Structure 1
Amino acid sequence: MRVSVEAGEGLERRMRVDLPFDEVGAEVEKRLQQLARHAKLPGFRPGKVPLKVLRQRYNAELHQEVFGDMVQKTLYKAFEQESLIPAGLPQIEPDLDIAAGRMAYTAIFEVMPEIRLASVQDRVIKRPVCELTDADLDDMIQRLRAQRKTWEPVDRPAQQGDQLSVSFVVKVDGEPFEGSAVTDFKLELGSGGLIPGFEEGLIGATPGETRTLDLTFPEDHQTKPLAGKPARFEVTIDSIAKPRLPELDAEFVKGFGIEDGDLERFRADVRRNMERELKERLIARTKERVMDMLYEANPIELPRVLVESEQRTLAKQMRQALGGGQMSLPPERLESDAKRRVALGLILGQIIRDNDIKVDPERVRETVEHIASSYEHPQEVIDYYYADEGRLGPIRALVIEDQVVDLILKQARVEDEPLTFAQLTEQ
């Protein structure tokens, strides 16, 4: 076969493969001989149909069949011959002219980019560091109390933190917007649950009062006819309730699985959970900083086919995370994240190859044990993972990624960035 390659735009390549027509003809004749042994046609006994008749009837069909087989047989040989690594399945354009004795095809595809990694020795990575304090523990316990708060009706002007029951209608251009009338809507002032200005406009309102709020919907509002539009909200305050936190006592503690209601044991449990969360967040944030640096230091021209595939994957994952159903997110909106993920995958792969990094079995075991530690019967979880090599695949991928992070932290300039527990968990 003869192979020629033309470079298209970016990473696109057009590879023409001319197949040896004499070999094609020989294969067609071979298949005709095989067909003749059992062919059945009207007017002929089975296996007695003349080759000339079979050739007239099946010649074009057999050439197409042989052509398809030859494409499969020669395509990846041609890639290898030309030292090309396709980024995805190629589009095949056939070029057949049996009368002229020509059988060829053009494969259109994108190639994987050549990656030359930049040195990271002069790059700075801000590594977050944090110490858990007693004040952090107290804040967390206060949050846990707030999660279990109840509401107590009051007859006074509304304050930040109150829960209001309101009824309202939205008017656009002086007319009520269809479907905008709402009754008995529960709103916690300060939660940021509605458009900017709505909650602030109700501070100081009293039960039974009606207020008119002239506001503008954000440009990216989910209801497209309202996006960026000025509107008037006519809001009636039906009732006001203030928050009431539960007492920090034995009854409260029992709700968190401390059967004897021991407050000190409860505090110790909360601290352990916070320490575990702190460790995980520090690792995750450090990894994120390393990935940011690698992405910035190594700009890569990316194959469109890989980015588009990643966009579809991200869209599917987001639909599942949001409950599935008919909800759909346009893949184009995820293009930026898809490009980052594809680029980092290529960069990490190159680092692994350049440094001959092999996954550490001990770290795999430690990771599995860490996952299992949050379950009631850890050994059952460990046995589950090790009973099937396929289940360990994602764990191994995570571990080798961590090994890359460790390598980069040794090579780059690392500066510690002190953060409080609140800063680390809020970001």
Structure 2
Amino acid sequence: MQVTETLNEGLKRGYAITVTAAELDEKVNEKLTEAQPDVEMKGFRKGKVPMALLKKQFGQRLMGEAMQESIDGAMSKHFEDSGDRPAMQPEVKMTNEDWKEGDDVQVEMSYEALPDIPELDLSKVTLERLVVKADDAAVEETLGSLAENAQDFKPRKAGVKAKDGDQVVMDFVGKVDGEAFEGGSAEDYPLVLGSNSFIPGFEEQLVGVKAGEEKAVTVTFPEDYQAENLKGKEATFDCTIKEVKKPVAAEIDDELAKKYGAEDLDGLKTRISEQLESEYAGAARAVMKRGLLDQLDDIVNFDLPPSLVEAEAKQIAHQLWHEDNPDVEGHDHPEIETTDEHTALAERRVRLGLLLAELGQKAEVEVTDAEMSQAIMQQARQYPGQERQFFEFVQQNAQMQQQLRAPLFEDKVVDHIVENAAVTDKEVSKDDLQKAVEALEEDDS
């Protein structure tokens, strides 16, 4: 077997591979010899079929296997000896298309090699980490929101009309064509006006009712209503209003704390403070990560495989096009041209992706099975009732697994860099942190 270099230009590589007819014949004979003891053929005892007959019967089929194995073996040995890592799947094709048995096999292999990533002294990386403390005002603001969410309802004065947001306690009977229908009646039903929990148009007609009043509400069931016998039908509900209640925020006290699983108000305040600081830390990490990536992009430079940049630029252009055209769900649209802006962003992503992959490999960073399972379950929660099917889909889909593993790996590599970098903590206000986060979002838009 002979491997001859035909191209070495930047990261582009080309090789001519020749597998001789004698090598192919030897490999076919090896396969036949290995299979001979198990071959049964009419007129011969098992394992006693002559080699010449075996070759006549199976040789042509085994020749294809021998070709493929020889070429694959030559490629593997080449990458092992050269140390090259192809950026994408190498392009391989036979150059003597008129090949016939007894001829040498001539193959042309071309690829782009991944570049050598320069060494990076992580201790020279300098980062600023924003630190925000949860002050009393932030805790009180959150307590106010919790109290509002835990609102109660208290009776309005007699004769006061119901407003949007009020709770109306009523009895009602629903009828279609003058006949009451199953599931259309209730007693002492508490309905919050504006909650959209009833048929469209129902709650609006109760705005302005008073306790003790009777009100006929006429609505039309939607065409997609779950009950087949009610779809598109007009119905009248005879409502007897028993009470009109106004929303009242819960008191900020130990009872409120217990509603949210804390022992007392001080315990709830402590929990809120810890949760807020955890949220602040998450936002601050995102800001610091962007600063780190910007810094790495500035200080590290190396040649990039054109094929990777081109593929990434096309993906970016395609994604942005769909964001600008949300009504187009499929991919039946004109080809999307990439711009210099797409290419510049692609170069950054490819450069940082290769760098982080190299740093992670050297630091032996790995995503554990437990971390992958947790990530899959988090994604599965977006499909209520179909969690198991989603989990099974991911298990059988290597591309989906990679999509979930990639951000986990990147975050772990970032953590590794931060641990070894020079990090300075800077205490700032919540507003300052918010501005820094908004600046990130503006850069991404």
Report the alpha carbon displacement of residue 404 of structure 1 after superposing the two structures with TM.
0.7
1:39 to 1:138, Cα distance in 2 relative to 1, 3 A: closer
Q: 2:420 aligns with which of 403, 407, 418?
A: 407
**Aligned match of 1:346:** 354
Inter-partner Cα distance in structure 2 for 1:7 and 1:242: 81
Counterpart check, 1:301 vs 2:293: no
The correspondence of residues 48-197 of structure 1 with structure 2, limited to 5 A, is 51-94=51-94, 97-99=99-101, 101-116=103-118, 127-149=129-151, 165=194, 183-184=200-201
**Aligned match of 1:16:** 16
The correspondence of residues 350-369 of structure 1 with structure 2, limited to 5 A, is 350-351=358-359, 357=363
Inter-partner Cα distance in structure 2 for 1:166 and 1:278: 32
Inter-partner Cα distance in structure 2 for 1:146 and 1:6: 74
Deviations 1:365-414 (A, max 9, x none): xx9xxxxxxxxxxxxxxxxxxxxxxxxxx99985553231243446xxx7
- Describe the SS at the equivalent of 1:183: coil
Q: 1:250 aligns with which of 223, 239, 254?
A: 254
Report the alpha carbon displacement of residue 29 of structure 1 after superposing the two structures with TM.
3.3
1:402 to 1:303, Cα distance in 2 relative to 1, 3 A: farther
Inter-partner Cα distance in structure 2 for 1:38 and 1:273: 69
**Aligned match of 2:293:** 291
Inter-partner Cα distance in structure 1 for 2:307 and 2:193: 50
**Aligned match of 1:270:** 272
CA RMSD across the alignment: 5.4
Inter-partner Cα distance in structure 1 for 2:419 and 2:115: 25
Inter-partner Cα distance in structure 1 for 2:8 and 2:153: 67
Deviations 1:241-263 (A, max 9, x none): 9864222123212112234xx32
Give the partner amino acid of 1:282: A
Among all aligned residue pairs of Structure 1 and Structure 2, give the percentage whose two residues are the same amino acid.
23
Give the partner amino acid of 1:23: E
**Aligned match of 1:418:** 428
Larger gyration radius, structure 1 or structure 2:
2
Give the partner amino acid of 1:419: S
Give the partner amino acid of 2:304: E
Inter-partner Cα distance in structure 2 for 1:329 and 1:9: 39
Residues 17, 107 of structure 2: 8 Å contact kept: yes
Inter-partner Cα distance in structure 1 for 2:258 and 2:95: 77
Please report the TM-score for the alignment, with normalisation by the length of structure 1: 0.52
Q: How many residues align?
A: 303
Deviations 1:32-72 (A, max 9, x none): 45566665555666666555444444332222121122133
Give the partner amino acid of 2:200: T
1:95 to 1:148, Cα distance in 2 relative to 1, 3 A: farther
Deviations 1:194-246 (A, max 9, x none): xxxxxxxxxxxxx69xxxxxxxxxxxxxxxxxxxxxxxxxxxxxxxx986422
Please report the TM-score for the alignment, with normalisation by the length of structure 2: 0.50
Inter-partner Cα distance in structure 2 for 1:186 and 1:296: 59
Inter-partner Cα distance in structure 2 for 1:126 and 1:149: 42
- Describe the SS at the equivalent of 2:200: strand
1:57 to 1:269, Cα distance in 2 relative to 1, 3 A: closer
Report the alpha carbon displacement of residue 142 of structure 1 after superposing the two structures with TM.
1.9
Inter-partner Cα distance in structure 2 for 1:47 and 1:124: 71
Inter-partner Cα distance in structure 1 for 2:262 and 2:163: 39
Inter-partner Cα distance in structure 1 for 2:140 and 2:260: 16
- Describe the SS at the equivalent of 1:113: coil
